[in-house]
Amino acid sequence: MLVITGVFFTTIVLAATWPGEVEEFVKDTEVENEMWIPTEEDILYQDSMYSIIESTQNDITEIKEDIIHILERLDYEDGTYDSIRYVKGGKIDRKRN
């Protein structure tokens, strides 16, 4: 059993480290210098991605405007406000516990 295990592991080590066929990579300069020309499908895909981005930007702008509108309604020029503000030692603080 020990011999079989030894032969097995030796075979695995040799198979992993034995140099096989070496494939040389030849750089093709003509392909590298060739400019990418988008197909009709590429253009449609890019247009759809642009419309999604534009829609998202518009949604974010609307959300920001809504937040500003809400914050303007909470604080008034005379110092009053619509929200409950926590004041340490105040009425709400005393009723907490």
pLDDT in tens, 3-35: 899 888 888 887 777 766 766 776 666 656 677
Q: How far apart, in whole angstroms, are the C-alpha atoms of residue 51 and residue 57?
A: 10
Q: Residue 61 belongs to what domain range?
A: 37-86
pTM: 0.41
DSSP string, 20-77: -PPPPPPP-HHHHTPPP---HHHHHHHHHHHHHHHHHHHHHHHHHHHHHHHHHHHB-T
pLDDT digits over 74-89, tens only?
555 666 666 555 556 6
81: in domain: yes
For residue 68, give both structure tokens: 């500003």
Q: What are 95's two structure tokens?
A: 């009723």
Whether 42 is in a domain gets the answer: yes
Angle 44-48-52 from CA coordinates, rounded to 5°: 170
60 inside domain: yes
Q: Of 83 and 59, which is predicted with more confidence?
A: 59
